[in-house]
Amino acid sequence: MTVSFDSVAIPKIPREAFLTSLASVTFRNCEIGNIHSEAFKATQISAVTMINCSLGNIQEKSLYRQNFDL
């Protein structure tokens, strides 16, 4: 499954926002205020892509390396 966000303001991505395994998550032209720790806690996410986005704060451990195909 792929999840896409396009041209939206996202005040925060809370802890455990993404718990389901995903092929990818894409943010395009988005304004993201805060990405909390463990926001992307799914068993596996192949890719998180941010294109032309502004980010306020990315907390430590927001993205777990073992969850991604690197």
Nearest Cα residue to 63 out of 30, 32, 41: 41
pLDDT of residue 49: 93
pLDDT at 68 over 70: no
**Alpha carbon distance 58, 69 (integer Å):** 20
Distance of CA 38 to the CA centre of its chain: 10
pLDDT of residue 20: 84
pLDDT of residue 64: 63
The residues spanned by each domain of the chain are: 7-61
Task: Dump pLDDT digits (tens) for 8-55.
Answer: 999 999 999 988 888 999 999 999 999 999 898 877 888 889 999 999
C-alpha count within 13 angstroms, C-beta hemisphere, residue 46: 6
